Chain A
Amino acid sequence: GQQVMQIPQYQHVQEGEDFTTYCNSSTTLSNIQWYKQRPGGHPVFLIQLVKSGEVKKQKRLTFQFGEAKKNSSLHITATQTTDVGTYFCCLCGDDKIIFGKGTRLHILP
């Protein structure tokens, strides 16, 4: 069946360093969504990517969708303590929803 692989599982960075999490699918995706979950909180929608090769930015966050629509990445520039949390990609379809296992980001002061 369809799988969504997300790496790395954990990432520790010094405050101010960059961070990237990657999501790979075994099949072509119609779209991909990204969510953030703060410690003790609930997932919060960040963005949706639909088009091949699409790049979207939200302040220090850059989201990319691969040309083949089989992979996606989330890059954070100059991390801050507010970026702490787990980032999930989601293959969120009409009749199938698969979340990646998430990347837990720890920020070292």
Chain B
Amino acid sequence: DTAVSQTPKYLVTQMGNDKSIKCEQNLGHDTMYWYKQDSKKFLKIMFSYNNKELIINETVPNRFSPKSPDKAHLNLHINSLELGDSAVYFCASSPGTGSYNEQFFGPGTRLTVL
């Protein structure tokens, strides 16, 4: 009965490939997020969706495209992977948008680009 789940947990791939990371939450939350955590452990927001509508879209390369088929799912597709994309990607969800709502994080997906 995992609250926020991500697949895969580990992803090792070559430069130039296209890959997707999936996220699902069973908490009935309206808002979902994608974060990137680099090797220095800095946690940076990439996107947030509220009821399938894009709310936050930070300046990330347009090789990154989020897709929310329904409010329980927020997937992240990455085209033409680069070495600098190597990081841990966290999905999170909250009852509503950021303010006054705690976020529940998934276990993370460690992406390694060779």
Contacts and interface: CB of A to CB of B under 8 A. Distances in A.
B8 to A, nearest CB: 15
A101 interface: yes
Give the size category of B's interface with A: 20 to 34
A96 B59 CA distance: 12
Given A97-B33, A97-B48, A92 B98 contact: yes
Nearest to A86: B41
Contacts of A88: 43
A42 B105 CA distance: 6
A92 B43 contact: no
Contact of B45 (A43, A97, A102): A97
Contact of B99 (A43, A93, A102): A93
Give the residue among A37, A43, A48 with the most B Cβ atoms within 10 A.
A43
A3 interface: no
Closest 9 CB pairs of A and B: A45-B102, A42-B105, A92-B98, A94-B97, A97-B45, A99-B43, A93-B98, A43-B105, A94-B99
Given A43-B90, A48-B102, 13 more contacts: A33-B103, A41-B107, A43-B103, A92-B101, A93-B98, A93-B99, A94-B55, A96-B98, A97-B98, A99-B43, A99-B45, A101-B40, A102-B43
8 contacts: A37-B41, A42-B105, A86-B41, A93-B99, A95-B55, A95-B56, A95-B97, A99-B44
Interface of A: 30-31, 33, 35, 37, 41-45, 48, 50, 86, 88, 92-99, 101-102, 104
